[in-house]
Amino acid sequence: MLTGVKMSASFGLLKRCLSALCPVGFRSQLRRNRPVRGPVGGRRLSHTRAAQRGPLEGVRVLDLTRVLAGPFATMILGDLGAEVIKVERPGAGDDTRAWGPPFVGAESAYFLSVNRNKKSISVDLKHPRGAGVIQELAGVCDVLVENYLPGKLHQMCLGYEQLSRLNPRLIYCSISGYGQTGPQSQSPGYDSIASAVSGMMHITGSEGGEPVRPGVAMTDLATGLYAHGAVMAALLQRHRTGRGAHIDCNLLSAQVSCLTHIAANYLNSGKEARRWGTAHESIVPYQGFTTKDGHLVVAAGNDRQFINVCNVLQLKELTKKPEYKTNTLRVQHREELLHTLSQRFLQEKTADWLRRFEGSGVPVGPINSIQEVFSDPQVKHNGLIQEMNHPTAGRITVPGPAVRFSSFAHDEPTPPPLIGQHTVQVLRHALSYSDDVIKTLLDSKAVTQNEVS
């Protein structure tokens, strides 16, 4: 608990921050135009859909993240109905807007993939009035998500301690490379580096080959999923306590926690992990095989399934060999067994093998190209191809949400925004700024509005 002296000092610091961010004359304008509202979370719903509302309808998220982990987390929150206000720097915006080719019109496909259901405001955080706008927005938002280097926003008077005094109900989620404290906390976080440091690359790659970076930024994506889940839990906690929280989410912790059984193997037995390609260290056969025209994966997780594999392959004699009777024995004799199975799989095409395995009780699947993935009837059925009309790029297509609800549908997504597309709209509706105040901000270059919108 803060003592009287400490509390006085804290409010003194906050007052100095506010004074630095907003000149006196401008602050008086903001006070005259500050929105009249009840407690955070009790305001009018920000998105109105005639039929169904998402579970986060009425929750407002201030998104100060860029690249992948943070935008992925906030996109999921937006998919669930939250109003997501994405803050971008004037001019360049989110780094991924320039990550291409491919581009769809002038828009990077990378950016388009993780930024639907968001509004974009363009704010110069280095401008005193720009930082003041962010403080005002934090006062009317339920959640703030950021991925700045730890301590950076505190220097701008936009840290958790400062903003939580203005809005005690604020849930402030910090995403970093290594955590808010500790010996590496000041190191920048990048997926490939965190994947290497966390051991993920050490266990990824072909057997006997070099370490390999996963084909998609799984460390970033896992961190985004952790952040989204943590925000949801904090919202539930706030419902009980009435207070917000500071969430420390980082790439290193997310990836190390995802090592699961690999980590447990080492921690409990001292056994160092190695690379297995598509194979499994503890189960045989459980890996990819080359066919006459492609590849497929077979996952025989128990003895019954192994027998069924042998029956489908017309290699019933393998089931009678004592060295293959149990999974433990098959692991011990994996080299000779896999050689026999591999030779057999080469004799038929992938589609033929898939037909043969139908009804066998053995999990199998083709190793699809991306083109084959989005031609798959189940992928289409699950709504994983989502189309939207973008204001400049025209009709765009992105991968859709992974989770479906019985209570609402993801059938009206809004397209990823242009830089600063919604600046004036957000200032007017979320903060009730007058036209004069908005014009002053635009003239000072503290904020910018996209001319296309």
Q: Which residues are known catalytic residues? A: 220
* DSSP result, 205-232: SSTTS-----SS-HHHHHHHHHHHHHHH
Burial of 128 (0-12, 13-18, 19+ CB in 10 A): middle
Please name every residue paired with 87 in a beta bridge, in sequence order, or none if there are none: 121
**Terminal CA-CA length for the chain:** 48
347: nearest Cα among 396, 291, 268:
291
Residue 313 · residue 341 · CB < 8 Å: yes
Longest dimension (CA), the chain: 89
71: nearest Cα among 85, 60, 81:
85
Any residues with CB less than 8 A from the CB of 193 and at least 6 apart, and which?
177
Return the number of other C-beta atoms located less than 10 Å from residue 448's C-beta. 21
Q: Tokens 């009287």 — which residue?
A: 4
CA atoms within 13 A on the CB side of 86: 30
Output DSSP code: residue 414.
P
Any residues with CB less than 8 A from the CB of 191 and at least 6 apart, and which?
68, 69, 217, 218, 219, 220, 251
Q: Tokens 């083109």 — which residue?
A: 371
Ordered strands of the 171-176 beta sheet: 245-250, 171-176, 143-146, 60-64, 83-88, 119-123, 447-448
- The amino acid sitting at 324 is Y
Return the number of other C-beta atoms located less than 10 Å from residue 424's C-beta. 21
Q: Omega into 101 within 30° of 0, i.e. cis?
A: yes
